[in-house]
């Protein structure tokens, strides 16, 4: 029953609404649900007089990162801001122990991922529809309409900050587009979510034996990829590209080892079709123009991002080991900054090192690295079982997408992304089957 509730939570996560218990305070419903999960799990564990905590490198690195982040509060200029950010982490990290405390078999993991992908596919349809509606209503009117529609999902205070510092419009070759955001606060967080989901859908598709469900997962992957491209997030594009090399590289090696000509013909057709699609996207759509703008060092967002990185490096040089304190990076850049003012390094790793010190950054990198290695081991252990081999390698690619995209944006404190990352890390901490 508990696992069914978690499956529904994975489905609900991108649709979650925010509560406003008091004026000026937004409380994401996902935080309440995770807390409820934890309390039920803890009560059940105490009843059985047995609390299960997975002994693994993932657990060690996770606790190290959390400890170093909390320890940095001793050096925070504004302790209240640091506590607010710490409470965010603490509200989701118990999810790791809830997932790890349950005995998941491979089929249950696969079923949970299906719920995740189903939610992603539905949200992709919403994002695609939202994007194309602007060509009927106009981008300006669509943005105004979406602001009214989205407020209950974000919360009044957070929504006001999102709208004030909006990154929804994007200018491509003199034409303004309203990016696909769906129910997410900005296109970059939506892209993180979709990029991580895309390779899970591919993994389900490649591992499925029933033709009907093969079509379902392939259509889901197509919808997710389309929506991701419409976010115009260049960090997301790079994440997809590297993730494709990881997932596709394994596919090529796998097929080259096959002697059957039909399998090699399928591979040739897949590669040719992929190259044709990439060629059309790059040279005949705004997506290509957006991609090529990444190499324009005079483009505004590129110059600003480089500036942000340089600022972060300078802050790190001043406080290399203890950082500025959790939640205090923005004050180190701008002493008059407000709580919701979006001042960050545009690089998750620099953000973490700047606030929690070098050791905090190393612990987080080690955490992601061990997550990737853990699922690579699981994939190898299930090499003879097609459905699980591809699923686990899809999870590896999902980690890669998050890791690469994080060089350009920060999604760790997203109510949509953090619980998904913790979910995968906890599954990865289980012994390889």
Report whether 91 contacts 38 (CB < 8 A): no
Nearest residue to 181 (alpha-carbon basis) of 227, 246, 118, 117: 227
Structure tokens at 144: 């105004």
Give residue 205's pLDDT: 93
Report the 3 state secondary structure along 335-392. CCCCCCCCCCCCCHHHHHHHHHHHHHHHHHHHHHHHHHHHHHHHHHHCCCCHHHHHHH
Low-confidence ranges of the chain (pLDDT < 70): 21-25, 250-284, 294-297, 300, 432-433
Give residue 24's pLDDT: 63
Give residue 161's pLDDT: 82
- Taking only the tens place, the pLDDT of each residue in 168-209 is 899 887 788 999 999 999 999 999 999 999 999 999 998 888
- Cβ neighbours around 340 below 10 Å, total: 14
In angstroms, the CA 412 to CA 367 distance is 13
Residues in CB range of 107: below 8 A, 6 or more apart: none
């Amino acid at each position: 029953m508990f696992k069914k509730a978690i499956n529904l939570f994975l489905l609900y996560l991108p649709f979650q609404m925010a509560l406003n218990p008091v004026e000026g305070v937004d409380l994401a419903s996902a935080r309440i649900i995770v807390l409820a999960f934890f309390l039920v799990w803890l009560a059940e564990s105490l009843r059985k007089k047995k609390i299960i905590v997975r002994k693994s490198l993932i657990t060690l690195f996770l606790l190290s990162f959390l400890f170093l982040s909390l320890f940095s509060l001793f050096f925070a200029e504004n302790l209240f801001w640091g506590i607010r950010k710490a409470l965010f982490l603490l509200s989701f990290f118990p999810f790791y122990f809830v997932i790890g405390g349950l005995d998941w078999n491979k089929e249950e993991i696969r079923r949970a991922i299906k719920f995740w992908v189903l939610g992603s596919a539905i949200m992709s349809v919403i994002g695609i529809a939202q994007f194309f509606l602007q060509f009927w209503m106009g981008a300006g009117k669509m943005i105004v309409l979406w602001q009214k529609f989205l407020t209950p999902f974000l919360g009044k205070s957070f929504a006001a900050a999102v709208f004030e510092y909006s990154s929804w419009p994007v200018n491509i070759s003199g034409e303004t587009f309203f990016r696909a955001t769906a129910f997410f606060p900005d296109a970059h967080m939506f892209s993180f979510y979709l990029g991580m989901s895309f390779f899970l859908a591919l993994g389900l598709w490649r591992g499925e034996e029933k033709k009907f469900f093969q079509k379902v997962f392939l259509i889901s992957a197509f919808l997710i990829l389309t929506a991701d491209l419409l976010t115009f997030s260049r960090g997301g594009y790079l994440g997809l590209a590297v993730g494709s090399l990881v997932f596709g590289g394994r596919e090529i090696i796998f097929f080259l080892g096959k002697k059957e000509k039909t399998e090699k013909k399928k591979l040739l057709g897949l590669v040719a079709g992929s190259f044709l699609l990439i060629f059309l996207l790059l040279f005949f759509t705004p997506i290509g123009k957006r991609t090529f703008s990444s190499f324009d060092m005079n483009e505004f967002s590129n110059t600003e991002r480089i500036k942000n990185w340089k600022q972060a490096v300078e802050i790190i040089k001043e406080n290399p080991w203890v950082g500025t304190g959790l939640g205090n990076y923005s004050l180190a850049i701008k002493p008059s900054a407000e709580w919701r003012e979006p001042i960050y390094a545009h690089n998750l790793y620099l953000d973490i090192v700047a606030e929690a010190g070098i050791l905090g950054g190393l612990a987080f990198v080690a955490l992601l690295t061990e997550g990737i290695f853990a699922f690579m081991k699981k994939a190898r252990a299930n090499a003879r079982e097609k459905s699980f081999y591809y699923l686990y390698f899809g999870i590896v690619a999902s980690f890669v997408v998050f890791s690469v995209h994080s060089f350009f944006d920060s999604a760790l404190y997203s109510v949509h992304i953090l619980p998904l990352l913790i979910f995968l890390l906890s599954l990865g901490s289980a012994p390889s089957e």
